[in-house]
Amino acid sequence: MNDLFSPSLIFSLLIGLIIGVVIMIIASKVGLNRDRVKAQQIIDDADAKAKNMVKQAILDGKTQVYDLRLQAEKEIKDRRTELTDLENKLLRREDSLNYRDETINQKEKKLDGKLRSAEEKEQNLERMREELQSRIDGQITLLERVSNMTEDEAKKELMDVVEKKIQNEVAVYIRESEEEARLKAQESAREIIALAIQRYSSEEAVERSVSVISIPSEEMKGRIIGREGRNIQAFEAATGVDLIIDDTPEAITISCFNPIRREIAKVALETLIRDGRIQPGRIEDVVKKVTKEINDEIYKAGENACFRLQIGKMNKELIQLVGRMKFRYSYGQNGLEHSKEVAAIAGMMAAELGLNQTLAKRAGLLHDIGKAVDFEMDGTHVELGAKLAKKYGENEIVINAIESHHGDKPATSLISNLVAAADTLSAARPGARNGGLENYINRLENLERLATDFDGVEKAYAIQAGREVRVMVKPEKVDDAKAALIAHDLKERIESELTYPGTIKVTVIRDVRATEIAK
């Protein structure tokens, strides 16, 4: 125990402890110095960065100040330039005003001189007028004394003579002007109409109230009729037509007043004959399919007509009605072709006269639109057409053209007159319609008969396919005034008693000949 805690050992421990403490103190001082060095370094770095930032801020500030100074100098320079230009303009304006002022002063001086000169001339003219008036008064007094007439009496007589002369000259001038205007108007109208007809050509069509279908054999008739007539009954019920199956070899006739239903029946029956399957169910399917195809064909026909005529946008239902005219015939003339022809002719004449060509063509195309539904609805095609045009919002001029093209209502525009003229031209031109030969001959005979009914008429001839009648009168019985009266009365009777396309010209000829032979 004493050995364990001996003084030497304790001393050694104390020495070791002291040394450890000293070492720790030294170590801590070394670390503290190191931290101080690091802190100082951080402070130095921060101070350097702060100085750099200050330097950079000062540099940026100087740069901005420099830029602002340059901008300010530029603005000042521009402002000085503007002020200089404005000052120069003001100087030039001032010079101009000074020059104008000098010019005005010079002109005022010249005007003053001219005014004085004019006043002097006016005074001279007044003196001359007074002298002349005194001379005229003296001459009038002398004339009154010589002619034994007062001034008023002389004036009245002179005015009467002048008035009669002027009346004669005015009458002659008016008559010559009217005749010249009439000849020019007729020539211009004939030229416009001739050009319109020459520029347009259309196909002719034949009117049909029945359609004849060829069949491959007589045995097909029995198949079309079917057992106990089921097939033919189903076909007629589906199409609304009458099938006429008679003794005509290898042919079946379809009869129907509705041309569209007749066309549907014709195409459907031809399809069934080619297919060979003829039974009620198949008939209904084919008729439905053909009906859709025909309706599409109708719309395409109307759309094509509008496109070719270039009449602008039109209501789709109205286009469908235009297309239905393809299956409408009037006196052998196809309704759609006739409407297209009227539209083209009216458009050409409108172009020649400087009118709205598009509106004229639109009115021409729709003038007979009522015929697309007149076999389904009550009323004339004019009334129905006007209702349809109003229903689909057509122009008032188009509506009036429809209402007036047969004279049912007065025309309110030149385009309405052109449509009526184009309708007459299209219907009356050679080959347009199938007017029978017998009716044609009867019309000519009636025309000549009406002319020969008048007293004093010697002969009458219907010429130019009934568009003119020439009447020869006996000159010893009919004078010029009566000849004009006969022409007027004959025109009235033709209009009231005959039905004819277009117009008829009445010409009464009174020819007086005196013949002598010298021997």
Assigned CATH class of 210-428 = alpha beta
Torsion 429-431-434-436 (CA) sign? positive
Instruction: Identify whether the C-beta of residue 508 lies closer than 8 Å to the C-beta of residue 473.
Output: yes
Q: What is the pLDDT of residue 464?
A: 66
Average pLDDT over residues 346-372: 88
Token output for 224: 């079309």
Q: Percent of the chain, pLDDT > 70?
A: 85
Among 348, 396, 343, 407, CA closest to 369: 343
The confidence band for 400, taking pLDDT boundaries of 50, 70 and 90, is very high
Give a three-class secondary structure readout of 237-301: HHHCCEEECCCCCCEEEEECCCHHHHHHHHHHHHHHHHHCCCCHHHHHHHHHHHHHHHHHHHHHH
The confidence band for 396, taking pLDDT boundaries of 50, 70 and 90, is very high
Q: What is the pLDDT of residue 7?
A: 73
**Higher pLDDT, residue 428 or 272:** 272
Q: What is the pLDDT of residue 182?
A: 67
If you write DSSP's letter for every residue of 354-415 in order, what string do you get?
TS-HHHHHHHHHHTTGGGGTTTTSSS-HHHHHHHHHHHTT--HHHHHHHHHTTSSS---SHH
Q: What is the pLDDT of residue 429?
A: 57
Q: What is the pLDDT of residue 205?
A: 41
Candidates 3.40.50.880, 2.102.10.10, 3.40.50.1700, 3.30.300.20; correct CATH number of 437-509? 3.30.300.20
Torsion 189-191-192-193 (CA) sign? positive
Instruction: Identify whether the C-beta of residue 224 lies closer than 8 Å to the C-beta of residue 243.
Output: yes
Q: Does the pLDDT of residue 432 top 70, yes or no?
A: no
With a CB cutoff of 8 Å and minimum separation 6, the contacts of 6 are none
Q: Does the pLDDT of residue 188 top 70, yes or no?
A: no
Q: Per residue in 12-44, pLDDT tens?
A: 888 888 888 888 888 777 777 777 788 888 888
- How do beta strands 468-473 and 210-214 pair? unpaired
The confidence band for 204, taking pLDDT boundaries of 50, 70 and 90, is very low
Query: Using CA atoms, how far apart are residues 388 and 315, in angstroms rounded to an integer?
Result: 11
Average pLDDT over residues 143-156: 68
Among 254, 241, 268, CA closest to 210: 254
Query: Using CA atoms, how far apart are residues 405 and 424, in angstroms rounded to an integer?
Result: 9
Q: Does the pLDDT of residue 57 top 80, yes or no?
A: yes
**Higher pLDDT, residue 412 or 466:** 412
Q: Does the pLDDT of residue 203 top 60, yes or no?
A: no
Would you kindly state where each structural domain of the chain is located, as residue ranges?
A: 1-133, 149-197, 210-428, 437-509
The owner of tokens 């805690």 is 5
Query: Using CA atoms, how far apart are residues 374 and 454, in angstroms rounded to an integer?
Result: 42
At residue 19, φ and ψ (nearest 5 deg) are -60, -45
Q: What is the pLDDT of residue 148?
A: 66
The confidence band for 300, taking pLDDT boundaries of 50, 70 and 90, is very high
Average pLDDT over residues 352-369: 88
Least confident of 391-400, 408-417, 421-430, 474-483: 421-430
Rounded to the nearest 5 percent, the helix, strand and coil shares of the chain are 70, 5, 20
Give the side-chain half-sphere CA count within 13 A for 51: 6
With a CB cutoff of 8 Å and minimum separation 6, the contacts of 452 are 459, 460
Q: Does the pLDDT of residue 225 top 80, yes or no?
A: yes
Q: Does the pLDDT of residue 379 top 50, yes or no?
A: yes
Q: Does the pLDDT of residue 45 top 80, yes or no?
A: yes
Among 498, 517, 515, CA closest to 506: 498
Query: Using CA atoms, how far apart are residues 212 and 214, in angstroms rounded to an integer?
Result: 7
Q: Does the pLDDT of residue 433 top 60, yes or no?
A: no
Instruction: Identify whether the C-beta of residue 484 lies closer than 8 Å to the C-beta of residue 499.
Output: no
> What 3-state class would DSSP assign to 44?
helix
Query: Using CA atoms, how far apart are residues 207 and 436, in angstroms rounded to an integer?
Result: 13
Q: Does the pLDDT of residue 156 top 80, yes or no?
A: no
The confidence band for 324, taking pLDDT boundaries of 50, 70 and 90, is confident
As beta bridge partners, residue 311 has: none
Q: Does the pLDDT of residue 160 top 50, yes or no?
A: yes
Query: Using CA atoms, how far apart are residues 243 and 247, in angstroms rounded to an integer?
Result: 13
Q: Does the pLDDT of residue 79 top 80, yes or no?
A: yes
